[in-house]
Structure 1
Amino acid sequence: MSESARLALYGHPFSSYTWKVQIALHANDLDYDLRVLGPDHPEHLAVVRSAGPLSKFPVLQDGDTLLLEASSIIEYIARHYAPSGSLIPDDQDAAIGMRMLDRVFDNYVMAPMQDVVNEYLRDRDNPDAVRVAEARARLEQAYAWLDDWLRDYDRGEQVTLIECAAAPSLFYAEWVLPIAPEFRRLRAWRAHLLRLPAVSRCVEAARPYRAGFPLGAPDRD
């Protein structure tokens, strides 16, 4: 994308939360610059540091507006750039339910996945086995709950806040703890999510960075 694009996203192609925002942008065919965080771009890090207290990314820049936290960024995209009701329902009760699921994926899938990753980042050869086991147990509980929830979820081609949250969290969580065969609905939905064009663009863009996954990236997906 050119430097003249109105929207700029500060993040990294291998970052799950960067994906979360990118999926919303891709699904709505929005032009944006991905400004990658890394040692070659200290000016990008300076923007991220100015946006929030802990230098967390992604950060969306829209003119003079800087936004952090992926869910809040998607809310902004939904309000200002996406067709009404597409990313988040116009009906307030339905929107509350969708936001609840967004928190489920972030807190109960993404968070324990990251706990495992952090242990391997701390010491790749000697991660804390107790902490890793506890985090994987929480993931297993989340998988079971989500597989049951999927009984009533319309798994169409839509991309909503739910898909934006689910796709990256399930992509990486399955690398940390493979989804058991008995959770067939969840396994099928993960595969469906990765086939969505808005998601597959993220998967392919991240492929060159897989060697950096601290547990070792599996030879699939």
Structure 2
Amino acid sequence: MATAKKVKKLGRADAEAIFARFHQIEPEPKGELDYVNAFTLLVAVVLSAQATDVGVNKATKRLFELAPTPAAMVALGIEQITELIKTIGLYRGKAKNVFALSQILIEKHGGEVPPDRAALEALPGVGRKTANVVLNIYFKQPTIAVDTHLFRVSNRTGLAPGKTPLDVETVLTKQVPERFMLHAHHWLILHGRYICKARKPECWRCPIADWCRFEPKTPLPMGR
């Protein structure tokens, strides 16, 4: 993950104003991965590394119909899992991880996804970001999952400047008011995906431009 240009960190009052604005626009933001239970959410997030949510959803539609539980996933076997997700980047390695983590869930956790970061991070293909997504979305824990979008937005705006995802996560946990923590990472990810884009942020329609430290702001395109 590339380090963004360093900007001065926003104060808590500005950070609170930003999240209040996000909340005003969308009080209950949702992730864009399809899932039916904690296990399928975990698998979907593992598969989403270096892939789009749209692409993952297309691949997992049939996969989750056939294997909505760890036992069913193991029964499918690596070869069939591989075939079902072959449209996703790095699919061979991901298929092995999905199969292996399903086995471990059966052997060590009674076939259930544990609501515990350390236990999740011990699973194949599961890092801190994946664990945070599952803990946040399914178990309603106020975690912050730092993906490329959130990393970019946090650095550009000055919300949480940091050289690494962990740096950004650490600063955000101090910047985000407690009442907004549960939804904070969703707001920032969606903002980065649809407005604060990597190549050309759409500053002219940004709802938090008043507080953002990114310069120069992208002007309204000609003819719009």
Q: TM-score range by the shorter chain?
A: under 0.3
Greater strand percent: which structure? Answer: 1
Say which one has the larger Rg: 2
Question: TM-score, normalised to structure 2's length?
Answer: 0.26
Give me the TM-score of the superposition, normalised by structure 1: 0.26
